[in-house]
Amino acid sequence: MKLSNQTQLSEFLLLGFSEDPALQPLIFGLFFSMYVICVTGNLLIVLAIFTDTHLHTPMYFFLTNLSFSDICFTSTTIPKMLVNIQTHSRVISFAGCITQMFFFILFAGLYDFLLAVMAYDRFLAICHPLHYTVIMNPRICVQLVLVSWVIGVLNALMQSLLVLRLSFCTHLEIPHFFCELNQVVHRACSDTFLNDLIMYFASVLLGGGPLSGILYSYSKIASSIRAISSKQGKYKAFSTCASHLLTISLFYGTSIGVYLSASAAPSSASTSAASVMYTVVTPMLNPFIYSLRNTDMKKALKRLLLHK
């Protein structure tokens, strides 16, 4: 790493969605509203589960962690973008960019692994109901979440340290609303082969691994549901998975869409717009997905809001 380049480079410019000043208030209002809805909704889910003893089960324990991850995930990117719009600035410091990148990778990875853990939980509940309470004891639940955190932290730390070894030229513009790893790496002046290699393997292992586990779990769940004789039994079993399936579809569907759009047009503003789906929209919708069709959650939220 060339220290001279590192001292010269003190900041990046986040280009965001549009340079038109007339559109900035609209963009600010839209993202501020989505951020408030996301944080408020997920915080209510966490408080409702925490205060209601009926919801102190493995499924809701994992949902608490997923909601907390949603809050942190959006908080790594949106507040900085809102501040930049208000101050009419596109600047983010080099240290701020690396920090934002670290936490974004951390919470994206954590979110990914939590979805896999929740799929495993549903697999045990439906396919092995007699052994569920023995296998999914509180100790195992905590260990699964801790492992997800450790893997997320190690991956984020590795990716961020690899960026620090790169040399950057001055006045770098990032065609995004946050410091996305791939965009930052490919604006380096030095060789990025190692970074690209690690990013590829991390995507395959840490992205494909949990997805494979989710697909395997739901293939077994589908087989078990088909074996249930009564329609009511099938509906009850499927209803416990419906919210999680919808969240998985939103997260992976939009993530893959971003990857494909980035491959087709790496510097296009469409990549930033597509990123909004999994960085903001999906976390914002999760509280609605998990509460609108869940009777227990509805009751817990009513008790929380009415202080009963």
Q: Where are the domains of the chain?
A: 3-306
Q: What is the value of pTM for the model shown?
A: 0.90
pLDDT of residue 250: 86
What burial letters (b/e) apply to 263-288, b meaning 16+ CB within 10 Å?
eeeeeeeebbebbbbbbbbbbbbbbe
Q: Which two three-digit tokens encode residue 195? A: 């970074």
* β-strand pairing of 91-93 with 172-174: unpaired
The answer, yes or no, to whether residue 240 has pLDDT greater than 90, is no
For 57, 77, 84, 171, 273, the CA distances from 27, given in Å and listed in that order, are 40, 14, 12, 25, 12
pLDDT in tens, 178-225: 998 988 998 888 888 999 999 999 988 988 899 999 999 999 999 988
Separation CA 276–CA 177 (nearest Å): 9
The answer, yes or no, to whether residue 5 has pLDDT greater than 50, is no
Which amino acid appears at position 307 of this protein? H
- Domain 3-306: give its CATH code: 1.20.1070.10
CB-CB contact of 31 with 272 (8 Å): no
pLDDT in tens, 64-93: 999 999 999 999 999 999 999 999 888 999
Separation CA 276–CA 173 (nearest Å): 19
CB-CB contact of 168 with 187 (8 Å): yes
Per cent of the chain over pLDDT 70 is: 91
| 25-29: long-range contacts, CB 8 A cutoff, minimum separation 24 | 27/85, 28/82, 28/85, 28/86
Which amino acid appears at position 128 of this protein? H
